[in-house]
Amino acid sequence: MRFRKLKDIVASRLMLSATVFSALLVVFIAVGLFLKSRPIFAIQSLNKLLFSSSWHPLNGEFGLYPFLMGTLWVTVVAMVIAIPLCLLTSIYLAEYAPRKVRGVVKPMIDLLAGIPSVVYGLFGILLIVPLTKSIAPVFGYTTNGYNVLSGGIVLAIMVFPVIISISSEVIETVPYSMREASLALGATKWQATKLVVMRSALPGLIAAIILGFARAFGETMAVLMVVGNVAQVPSSVFDPAYPLPALIANNYGEMMSIPQYDSALLFAALVLLVVVFLFSVGARIILARVERRYQVG
């Protein structure tokens, strides 16, 4: 009996160490990136790093502003496309879709989540790039197809599964009694959904969107392959852009040869980490509040 107790204690100590290590991993990554990006501050202030548009590594100028804006443009376009589509789909799947449809569509969305980003990129090159190239003249622009819009569309599709899966779950967890109360008063199903269910699910939906945004912000390969990679702040969706992750991915080769280049890129990675951190924490706080509300009620 004592031996069984001993095994239990040893096992739980091992599990604790594994957990502590995993919990500290974020810290290790943050510290590592921070230490390695420190040298850049010797030659350029934080202000210039973040807000200057001149990116000339050979001259020691590392203004990340165009890349930050590029990331922002592509991500915002992706969210503008994704949010309405995902919300409508989630409501449909959670409230209206017949079981058979749900049974077919949900696995398909899960499948979307598993597709590698380079395949998305390839899809983008084969279909989306020609698409934007041909519709640009309708709006009075010309483009070779490698632009913010292409990046945004591809990114939107990549983000669908994240937002839809969390959103449908949130909507499904709204207790049936809420809908019942509304329907009993004579509301149509849509009114019940619009006025009661959505209001109740709102925080969870916001969390889903935040997580989708975070995922889009850091996505590298697919966007890189279709967005043009020109280091300028875009002025329209038909302009090319150069998102931050693409910058890092494209230039790791030159990193070692030009002084401070690696620090600058590692700082870019640190920026990505911080943004994702803030968004993840924010979403988690909202979701925790949602959980708590249903436990008390």
Partner 1 sequence: MDRRKLEEGFFKVLMIAATLVVVGSLLALFLVVLLKGAPALSLSMITQTPQGGYYLGKGGGILNAILGSLCLAAGATILALLLALPVALFLQKEYIGRSRFATVTRLSLDVLWGVPSIVYGVFGFIIMVYLGIRASLLGGIIVLTLLELPIMVRAIDEVLRRVPQELKDESYAIGATRLETTTRVVLRQILPGAVTAILLAFGRGIGDAASILFTTGYTDRLPHSLLDPVASLPLAVFFQIGTPFPEVQQRAYASAVILLVIVLLLSIISRLLVRKFTKYVIR
Partner 2 sequence: MTLFKPYISVKGLNVYYGNCQALENITVDIPEKQITVIIGPSGCGKTTLLKCLNRMIDLTEGVKLSGQVWVDGVDIYNNKAVDATQIRRKMGLLSQRPFPLPMSIYENVAYGLKLNGLKDKKKVDLVVKHYLNLVGLWEEVKHRLKAPASTLSAGQQQRLCLARGLAVEPEAILGDEPTSALDPMSAQNIEKTFLELKKTYTIVVVTHILRQARRLADYVVFLYLGRIVEHGPAASIFENPKQPETQAYIRGEIS
Which of 1, 23, 27, 296: binder of partner 2 (CB under 8 A)? 1
Please report how close the Cβ of residue 287 comes to partner 2 at its closest, in angstroms: 21
In the region spanning residues 140 to 179, those forming contacts with partner 1, defined by CB under 8 A, are 157, 160, 164
Which of 226, 266, 286, 290: binder of partner 1 (CB under 8 A)? 266
Please report how close the Cβ of residue 131 comes to partner 2 at its closest, in angstroms: 51
Could you give the CA distance from residue 212 to residue 45 in angstroms, rounded to a whole number?
Answer: 31
Please report how close the Cβ of residue 175 comes to partner 2 at its closest, in angstroms: 22
In the region spanning residues 78 to 137, those forming contacts with partner 1, defined by CB under 8 A, are 84-86, 88-89, 91-93, 96-97, 105, 107-112, 114-123, 125-127
Look-up of token digits 């899966």: 165
Please report how close the Cβ of residue 11 comes to partner 2 at its closest, in angstroms: 15
Stretch that binds partner 1, among 10-18, 45-53, 170-178, 200-208 (CB under 8 A): 10-18
In the region spanning residues 182 to 211, those forming contacts with partner 1, defined by CB under 8 A, are 188-191, 211
Please report how close the Cβ of residue 3 comes to partner 2 at its closest, in angstroms: 9
Fill in the per-residue mask, 2 to 31: x = in contact with partner 2 (CB under 8 A), - = not in contact: --xx--------------------------
Q: Using DSSP, state whether 241 is helix, strand or coil.
A: strand
Q: 169: closest CA among 93, 71, 252?
A: 93
Please report how close the Cβ of residue 89 comes to partner 1 at its closest, in angstroms: 5
Which of 143, 165, 167, 220: binder of partner 1 (CB under 8 A)? 220
| CA dist list (Å): 278 to 203, 234, 275 | 17, 25, 5
**Nearest CB to partner 1, comparing residues 44 and 71:** 71
Please report how close the Cβ of residue 13 comes to partner 1 at its closest, in angstroms: 10
Stretch that binds partner 2, among 1-9, 52-60, 144-152, 272-280 (CB under 8 A): 1-9
In the region spanning residues 227 to 246, those forming contacts with partner 1, defined by CB under 8 A, are 245
Q: Note whether 100 binds partner 2 by CB under 8 A.
A: no
Residue 77 touches which of partner 2, partner 1, none (Cβ within 5-8 Å per kind): none
DSSP symbols for 45-84: -HHHHHH---EEGGGTEE--HHHHHHHHHHHHHHHHHHHH
Phi, psi of 56 (to 5 degrees): -130, 85
Could you give the CA distance from residue 230 to residue 224 in angstroms, rounded to a whole number?
Answer: 11
Q: 121: closest CA among 273, 276, 249, 214?
A: 249
Q: 228: closest CA among 78, 81, 124, 80?
A: 124
